[in-house]
Amino acid sequence: MTNQVTSPGSGRLLSLIRAMEGAPVLVIGDVMLDRFIYGSVDRISPESPVPVLNIKREDTMLGGAGNALSSLAGLKADCRFISLAGDDAEGVQLKACVEALGITADDLIIDENRPTTVKTRFLAGHQQLLRADFEKKQALPALLEQQVIAAIEKRMEGVKAVLVSDYGKGLLTRPVLQAVMSAAKAKDIPVIVDPKGFDYTIYAGASAVTPNKKELAEATGGMAVDSDSDVMAAASSLMNKAGISCVFATRSQDGISVVRQGREADTLHLRAKPLEVFDVSGAGDVVIATITAAMAAGGSFEEAGVLANFAGGIAVSKVGTTPIRADELVEAITHEGDKGLAGSGIICAEDQWEQALEHIRRWRARGLKVGFTNGCFDILHAGHTGYLAQARSSCDRLIVGLNTDASVRTLKGPERPVHDESARATVLAALSSVDMVVLFGGAEGDKDQTAIKLLQALQPDLYMKGGDYTPEQIPETPTVRSYGGDVKVLSLFEGHSTTGSIQKMRA
């Protein structure tokens, strides 16, 4: 079918992204912790024919409704959050994760009769071996149900859009959903639902739902969802049956279809952006977060769909349930997907270590070995380039930790650096041997100018340092070995130094 709706231009989309900042959004749904445990398999257990995973590191992040919340925070929306957790250590950790986003956890309601939902994935290299779920699915007791409804009525004030994330864990009972729809309707606030199950009548009154192909087929009694016309017909049937205004049908490699009730002829079929797929975990949460933020910013259904299509392409290029960020959307729209999200020449400032970690996760998902070295690299000379080429030969991807200007002054004196950190990072990133440059360093006068904190954050597989000493003499070695990394001492190229270059210029 030929689209009857014109897709918004990039100027309008970029304006919407800017308008998302500070847009008030209410998120209500099932939250959980996602754990990723990484290691290697070198042998089979003698007890039974199963692989033995030698664990090296662990990542923990918000999942479920928490993943949507993280993406909304990344899009700089002003979030309010209502959810449920257990009275346990995982619940405390979950609350800390919410607050780390700068979002209050006052409405994270504690249910003493259920554990906090935790999903743990065990990976060897880039291969997932097992997922273990720790949860208890049960409907809310009446007392907690009233507490949730009271929180909804309180937090709805001043909101511009509501995101409902249903993972079927028991929070979103029919009375709770009715309370959401009623409170939102009274204030003319759009409600966007990530649905669960076959009966969508429980979401009656919602502005939109975001089923994938499988969910759309199941919710319509097995209707076909293969072609554009199939999806449009199934979505139309669902809207008429359930009393919903719009369907954002997410169709994997076929993109997203935006179907509006009574305007099926204007259906917008948005094709997926051609990005490399690493992991589809959490992509649906990224899509609904982007739709909700766009509508809170005053966007139309079609504009929200276009932005969500870009966001979905970015989400599947990441590893794990990693949220979207506003600058990634801007980058994707500006370059229309022509520029890859990973590759050489990446520069990350001191406040972008999390972005650096996302690139590292993508590299590891491809089975690549990540190496790291660090230094001031003030005036780049042949000794530097030879050393970096040597370091790159020991790994598949090389990260250079670059001391900030303040750090260099502390180490080298007030007349250094000769070139500022931006210039030094740009020159390093242009080298074929360098895949990423990450700035680090203590404040001026700080005694600790080592790369220990950065290594703790990025956890590269191999740490390299040039010199004539042993690994045990390097202050970063205990940190690297604590998470299972290796340390390697490389030879320096004699006769070259920045100090020597400066002395020659002065002479």
Catalytic (active-site) positions: 285
* Exposure b/e, 375-410, CB count within 10 A at least 16 = b: bbbbbbbebbbbbbebbbebbebbbbbbbbbbbbbb
Phi, psi angles (nearest 5°) of residue 252: 55, -125
Q: How far is CA 66 from CA 164, 174, 202, 397, 398, in A?
A: 11, 21, 22, 31, 32
Please name the residues in contact with 271: beta carbons below 8 A apart, sequence gap of 6 or more. 254, 255, 309
Q: Whole-angstrom Cα distance, residue 286 to residue 293?
A: 11
Helices (H), 26-88: 65-74
Own/partner pairs for 50-54, CB < 8 Å, 24+ apart? 51/124, 51/129, 53/122, 53/124, 53/129
Closest CA to 474 of 488, 453, 454: 488
Q: Judge whether 14 and 150 are in contact, CB under 8 Å.
A: no
Q: Whole-angstrom Cα distance, residue 454 to residue 469?
A: 22
Q: Whole-angstrom Cα distance, residue 94 to residue 347?
A: 31
Please name the residues in contact with 428: beta carbons below 8 A apart, sequence gap of 6 or more. 377, 380, 388, 400, 402, 434, 437
Q: Up-side HSE of residue 175: CA atoms within 13 Å toward CB?
A: 12
Bridge partners of 402? 375, 439
DSSP state of 118: E
Backbone conformation region of residue 26, classed left if phi is above 0, alpha if psi is from -120 to 50, else beta: beta
Closest CA to 95 of 113, 69, 77, 119: 69
Instruction: For residue 45, count CB atoms less than 10 angstroms from its CB and return exposed for 0-12, middle for 13-18, buried for 19 or more.
Output: exposed
Please name the residues in contact with 444: beta carbons below 8 A apart, sequence gap of 6 or more. 406, 407, 409, 410
Instruction: For residue 297, count CB atoms less than 10 angstroms from its CB and return exposed for 0-12, middle for 13-18, buried for 19 or more.
Output: buried
